[in-house]
Structure 1
Amino acid sequence: MSFLDRHRTLAALTATAAGLGLLTACGGGSSDTADKPAAASADAAKGAFPVSLKNAWGDTEVKKKPLKVATVSDGDTDIALALGIVPVITPDVEDGGKVPEYKQRAIDKLGAGKLKTYDDTDGTAYEAIAAEAPDVILGVNTWEMDKDYAKLSPIAPVVTYTDKAQADTLTWQERLKTAAKALGLEAKADEVIAANEKATADAAAAHPEFKGKTYTYTVVHPEQISFMSYQAQDPGVFEKLGFAKTDKAKNYAPDKNAVSLENLDQLDADVLLVTYPFGDRGVISPKELEGNKLFQSLNSVKGKHFAVIPSDNNLASSIAYPDALNAPWAVEQLTPLLAKAVAGQ
């Protein structure tokens, strides 16, 4: 989902409007069998090799602990970095832009300098990956594996999901654990998950004023204004911080989340959060929406309990597609915005 690749965030967010849950794309999950991460051998639990993993296209065997890891999505790169691994090659998801703060922190901590990348404008660059002779290829966080697997598997063992539907449904924790099994780093994965949970819990504890406050999260897409905190949406970062959905959430669903200008009152809540990932290319510009008389009449707006979630620093996409690296950073960035919105500042 940017998830995976954040350089494809605009396209992905467009798909969201058609029914892909923005907040659950990689953050939610279910208890269904199809949503469980790749199953590994008993030896994997001990960090022993070889490790055998089933996937949607066959079986993967990692004969010895991998030293050279290649990634095929930005989310997979984040997984590697979170586990303390500098990939030998990654897709160039920044397109010449600035590396997100959370990723740069990890790169600096690992003393990696600048990551070696391949141009993925036309998709996964198989020859560039093969040239690095990786021991394993991480592809647990990509939408392209159905197309890529046959060309990647002759290069190196491919670590990916057990069902094609999991491209959308696995939680970031499940993706991390799947990768960690193949890399012999399960204990490290547990540490990362615990640290992320602690960061969220600490932020919630530091802001008891968040508890029970209702919120609406809306995304302005090119086709529509989307009510993203709908009833069926799994609890995301806002609810983990103590917020609750409004009673209007029951009126919306993944495939029914458009809000018309005549019904902007549906957005009202104790706290209203809006993001404009498309800027002036949205169905309505930020200036036009915030200048709309009905929008201005909302209690949340009149009381200054309204905040814009920035997208240019990757915060909006980190909320949409949380992973092992960006999740605690998103909490760090969101907390002061939410505190001001609750306080009406």
Structure 2
Amino acid sequence: MNRRRSLTALAATAACVGLLAGCGDGSTDAKDKPAAAGAAADGAQAFPVSLKNAWGTAEVKKKPLKVATVSDGDTAIALALGITPVITPDIEDGDPVAQYKQRALDKLGAGKLKTYDDTDGTAYEAIAAEAPDVILGVNTWEMDKDYAKLSPIAPVVTYTDKAQADTLTWQERLKTAAKALGLDAKAAEVIAANEKATADAAAAHPEFKGKTYTYTVVHPEQISFMSYEAQDPGVFEKLGFAKTDKAKNYGPDKNAVSLENLDQLDADVLLVTYPFGDRGVISPTELEGNKLFQSLNAVKTKHFAVVPSENSLAQAIAYPDALSAPWVIEQLTPVLAKAVAGQ
């Protein structure tokens, strides 16, 4: 499964602001010069590079010029590092390209990415036909079955433990990929820029500090309490918000909220998203028209907001990466500001 295919694991997570702080200048021709000009800044990095992973070792003998990706998250990593992949999975399936990805493509002068149909999984032959120097797979859940077929094509850069498919931060994934690409300094630059931008956004909104919040996702099977106690501090907390005392009642395997217990959602600020629209367990109209929901203090005082999903914001919050992070804050901060102000 591509990390962006499913929204069932939606969760609050780290994000940053700025206009594509993670993207460098790049090539306009993915096949002839797929590595961006920004990549040259790290040209002195030593090769060969040997990277162990859960299935073997990736031996990258020289600085890669042709990079293939096997997930949308890996494509985001390449673009954030200033590299246009020679081939990527077709995550959009005909839908409009996410705004933050289009920004990166425009900045790199890349036009439209060459893609393969990943409906039935990774298209090994399509990847092999591009003769990549390296394959990025640090952001996929499918490496357990893909590695044996990908590794004969090119060195596969992926995680060192199978459990890391879920646990690595976007910063860790970025740094792993950067090491294989000779772009350690560029990765550090991207991370530092995002951290500064996040801090700047928090400083610009002191009214956020200390406000409790609940982030709720309406899934097809349940209403999910996503800002549970064990959830790593994410975009909301980096901006100054704090979890409610009810967060201790929920966890990654126990986060369903019944209609009888909607009072569990109350907080200084209540945020709900409907990534499945009317295919959720309850429609937006039904939930927001529910008498118990309307009785919540956050709702009565207008400290309630819907986080948009049609523009990929909810998805980008769930699956953060160096490319989407700036755009998330850009889109989310105004929503939060209005909710705090009760507008």
TM-score by length of 1: 0.90
Q: Secondary structure at the match of 2:7?
A: helix
Name 1:333's counterpart in structure 2.
331
Relative to structure 1, the CA distance from residue 107 to residue 72 in structure 2 (aligned partners, 3 Å threshold; closer, same or farther) is: same
Q: Specify which of 22, 45, 62 is matched with residue 11 of structure 2.
A: 22
Question: Using the alignment, how far apart are the partners of 2:189 and 2:7 within structure 1?
Answer: 31
CA drift at 1:195: 1.1
What code does the residue aligned with 1:304 have?
A: K
Name 1:322's counterpart in structure 2.
320
Matched, 1:275 2:269: no
Q: Which runs of 5+ in 2 are unaligned?
A: 16-41
CA drift at 1:45: 12
Name 2:153's counterpart in structure 1.
155
Task: Give the 4+ runs in structure 1 shifted more than 4 A.
Answer: none
Name 1:190's counterpart in structure 2.
188
Q: Secondary structure at the match of 1:232?
A: coil
TM-score by length of 2: 0.90
Name 1:181's counterpart in structure 2.
179
Q: Specify which of 7, 32, 35 is matched with residue 13 of structure 1.
A: 7
Q: Secondary structure at the match of 1:13?
A: coil
Question: Using the alignment, how far apart are the partners of 1:189 and 1:13 within structure 2?
Answer: 27
Alignment of structure 1 residues 245-324 onto 2, 5 Å: 245-324=243-322
Alpha-carbon contact 1:13-1:22 (below 8 Å) kept: no
What code does the residue aligned with 1:23 have?
A: A
Name 1:101's counterpart in structure 2.
99
Alpha-carbon contact 1:199-1:331 (below 8 Å) kept: no
Q: For each residue in 1:159-203, what CA deviation from the matched residue of structure 2 results, as whole angstroms up to 9, or x when unmatched? A: 000000000000000000000000000000001001111121111
What code does the residue aligned with 1:13 have?
A: L
What code does the residue aligned with 1:59 have?
A: T
Question: Using the alignment, how far apart are the partners of 2:193 and 2:100 within structure 1?
Answer: 15
Alignment size in residue pairs: 317
Name 1:35's counterpart in structure 2.
none
Question: Using the alignment, how far apart are the partners of 2:177 and 2:291 within structure 1?
Answer: 50
CA drift at 1:283: 0.8
Q: For each residue in 1:100-121, what CA deviation from the matched residue of structure 2 results, as whole angstroms up to 9, or x when unmatched? A: 0000000000000100101111
Q: Which runs of 5+ in 1 are unaligned?
A: 28-43
CA drift at 1:302: 0.8
Question: Using the alignment, how far apart are the partners of 2:229 and 2:287 within structure 1?
Answer: 24
Alpha-carbon contact 2:12-2:215 (below 8 Å) kept: no
CA drift at 1:46: 7.0
Name 1:75's counterpart in structure 2.
73
What code does the residue aligned with 2:266 have?
A: D
CA drift at 1:145: 0.4
Alpha-carbon contact 1:45-1:181 (below 8 Å) kept: no
Matched, 1:123 2:117: no
Name 1:221's counterpart in structure 2.
219
Q: Secondary structure at the match of 2:76?
A: helix
Name 1:31's counterpart in structure 2.
none
Q: For each residue in 1:184-223, what CA deviation from the matched residue of structure 2 results, as whole angstroms up to 9, or x when unmatched? A: 0000000100111112111100000000000000001111
Q: Secondary structure at the match of 1:104?
A: helix
Question: Using the alignment, how far apart are the partners of 2:268 and 2:193 within structure 1?
Answer: 29
Question: Using the alignment, how far apart are the partners of 2:107 and 2:71 within structure 1?
Answer: 21
